[in-house]
């Protein structure tokens, strides 16, 4: 399974959409379907996620990454900064009350 497919499937299961399009596409290569959390179990589990940090050695290009991270318990973000939509990314972090640090150092190169 490709890394992106695996990550999409995990995200779909954890976010409560194990039957969504991304999950269906990714699940085709699984030998067996994982057991999904009930809505109550997922809410209880997410309540335990405190002080989670998201760090990126590249920039975060879109605000949806921040929105999604917030729903997974992320409260602190470290990233290089400098994306074309960096102001939107910063605004999303501020709206969610997240602390964001722009390192200015990009370690990921194409």
Q: Any idea what the CATH number is for the domain that residue 110 is in?
A: 3.40.140.20
pLDDT at site 107: 73
In this structure, the answer to whether residues 93 and 58 fall within a common structural domain is yes
pLDDT by residue (tens digit) across 67-83? 989 988 899 999 998 88
Query: Based on the domain organization, do 55 and 41 belong to the same domain?
Result: no
* 3-state percent helix, strand, coil for the chain, nearest multiple of 5: 45, 15, 45
pLDDT score for 8: 73
pTM for the model: 0.67
Asked if residue 27 has pLDDT above 70, the reply is no
Q: Number of structural domains, the chain?
A: 2
Annotate 9-54 with DSSP letters as a single string. HHHHHHTT-TTSHHHHHHHTT-SSPPPPPPHHHHHHHHHT--SEEE
State which residues form the domain around 87: 49-110
| DSSP type of residue 73 | T
Together in a domain, 64 and 24? no
Q: What is the pLDDT of residue 37?
A: 74
Q: So what's the pLDDT on residue 91?
A: 97
Judgement on whether residues 99 and 54 belong to the same structural domain of the protein = yes
Q: Are residues 59 and 98 in the same domain?
A: yes
């Amino acid at each position: 399974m490709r890394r992106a497919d695996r990550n999409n499937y995990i995200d779909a299961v954890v976010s409560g959409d194990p039957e969504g399009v991304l999950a269906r596409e990714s699940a085709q290569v699984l030998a067996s379907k994982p057991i999904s959390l009930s809505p109550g179990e997922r809410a209880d589990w997410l309540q335990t996620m405190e002080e989670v940090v998201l760090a990126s050695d590249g920039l975060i290009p879109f605000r949806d990454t921040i929105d999604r991270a917030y729903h997974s318990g992320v409260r602190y973000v470290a990233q290089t900064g400098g994306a074309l939509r960096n102001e939107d990314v910063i605004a999303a972090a501020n709206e969610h009350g997240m602390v964001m640090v722009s390192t200015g150092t990009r370690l990921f190169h194409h």
